[in-house]
Amino acid sequence: MKSQVQISPAGKRTIIVVATILTIVVCFLLVGVFHLGDEAAVGVFALAATLVGTIFIPVEIKNSQEVTCCQMLIDQNNYFHDNEHLMKVYQALERPQGAPGVWDGIEDTDIACYCTFFENLYLLYSHKIARIEDLDDLFGYRFFIFTNDCYVQEHHLLPTSSSYNEIFRLYEAWIRHRRKTGSPIPKAENAFSEEYLSGRLYMNDAARVPEAEVGSFEEKSTVFGIRTLGFDSVSPVLNLQARACEQIADKSLFYPLSRAELIESIYMDTVLGVFAPDGSLAGFAVLVNGRVSSRNLASDAGEQPGDVLTFDVVVTDPKWRGFGIQKHLTDCAVSLARSSGRKLILATVSPGNSFSLNNFLSKGFSVSKEGLRKYDSLERSLLSLDL
């Protein structure tokens, strides 16, 4: 890409002044050298005036546009602070994420108003009225603490993401600008991934299907329910995973699922949750459907992606271990694989994770490869189940 030379406003004024002086000097030289008559001399100077005016016109238009843009942004900023709906949401966003009662009293209409405000800013950007640089100083912080907030993502942006096309397009341009300039990104741990944005994953409406009951089972006189999970379960799933990881002394035994991967799978795969009698999440499994993805283990087994269901992650709450949760989730995976025409289920297990390995083996899986290096070069065994 060729570099672009940027000229400051002061530099532009200097160029105009120099061009004007040179034009006048040239006119005098023409009149003097060619001994032009009065009428011809007037014509020369009239032409010079036209040329100078031609130089000034685009500059004045540009200056007028910049003044108009600044005034519009000032008006938008004043509107933000004067709007009760916007300020309610902003005050909630300033409080710690996950704190009790943070979103009490915040209506859906308040959230919609906040979104609409930034959709209007996107129009200014997309029509080249304002640059990201113009928007960033005034509105960047307020934009990212909203779009990167867990609650906002899980309960508003993600469940109906295709309705927020302008928000995500603005997000893509804005976060690119902040990363390029090295500016901090508020709540960066929840930022949407590059793959999510460039792949326009937010346009996938399949994920708008509500959570559905899959079945139930009873172990030790305790009845558990199983259902597919949606975006409002993102935080509960990640919190459960964090609790389970705390109980593992050898961290190499388990490679945790990232927030970005979980969101991707809720859009494109199947995420199953097991619920205890009190309604709490007791376990979950992420099943990667037969799609082309680095998370599909088909390439490790020399199979076609469409023939494989990958048992990506399975986690049980430490307090519910011994209730057969992984085994029942495996049964659900087998049923799903058969109904969707898959020929094979694949999973990876650390050789040192005897509990998980034995659970898979008891369900008919066999070890097809050993010594694989996966997930930042951790050693894994590849398990398979023919259907």
Same domain, 215 and 299: yes
CA-based nearest residue to 291, from 380, 363, 206: 206
CB 93 within 8 Å of CB 141: no
Confirm whether 73 is domain-assigned.
no
DSSP letters, 198-237, are: HTTGGG-GGGGSPP-EEEEEEETTEEEEEEE--GGGHHHH
Confirm whether 78 is domain-assigned.
no
pLDDT digits (tens, 9 = 90+) for 38-55: 555 555 445 555 554 454
pLDDT score recorded for residue 1: 42
Same domain, 116 and 182: yes
CA distances 76 to 109, 118, 168, 182, 361, Å, are 19, 10, 20, 26, 62
What CATH code is carried by the domain that includes residue 218? 3.40.630.30
Same domain, 251 and 297: yes
Confirm whether 268 is domain-assigned.
yes
pLDDT score recorded for residue 63: 47
Q: Which residues of the chain have pLDDT under 70?
A: 1-67, 206-210
Confirm whether 216 is domain-assigned.
yes
Distance CA 226, CA 212 (A): 9
pLDDT score recorded for residue 205: 73
* Residue with the two structure tokens 């459960």: 240
* Residue with the two structure tokens 């129009």: 123
Residue type, 195: E
Distance CA 350, CA 382 (A): 9
The 10 Å Cβ neighbour count of residue 130 is 21
Distance CA 229, CA 238 (A): 13
CB 384 within 8 Å of CB 308: no
CB 287 within 8 Å of CB 333: yes
- Tokens standing for residue 189: 């741990």
Same domain, 182 and 63: no
Same domain, 54 and 148: no
Q: Of the candidates 172, 205, 238, which is a domain's last residue?
A: 205
Number of domains in the chain: 3
Domain boundaries, position 98: 83-205
Q: Of the candidates 205, 228, 245, which is a domain's last residue?
A: 205
pLDDT score recorded for residue 43: 53
Sheet holding 344-349, edge to edge: 213-219, 222-228, 270-275, 281-288, 308-316, 344-349, 378-386, 366-374
CB 110 within 8 Å of CB 85: yes
pLDDT score recorded for residue 3: 43
Confirm whether 123 is domain-assigned.
yes
Q: Of the candidates 68, 101, 117, which is a domain's last residue?
A: 68
Q: Residue 295, SS3?
A: coil
Same domain, 132 and 48: no
CA-based nearest residue to 142, from 161, 157, 121, 160: 121
Q: At what angle do helices 132-147 and 165-181 cross, to 10 degrees?
A: 110
Confirm whether 229 is domain-assigned.
yes
Please give the span between the terminal C-alpha atoms of the chain, in angstroms, as a whole number.
52
Same domain, 196 and 223: no
Residue 364 CA from chain centroid, whole number: 38
Confirm whether 32 is domain-assigned.
yes
Same domain, 62 and 117: no
Confirm whether 2 is domain-assigned.
no
Same domain, 56 and 105: no
CA distances 135 to 88, 140, 142, 217, Å, are 21, 7, 11, 54
User: For residue 46, how many C-alpha atoms fall within 13 Å in the half-sphere facing its CB?
Assistant: 6
Same domain, 180 and 247: no
Same domain, 63 and 130: no
Same domain, 58 and 177: no
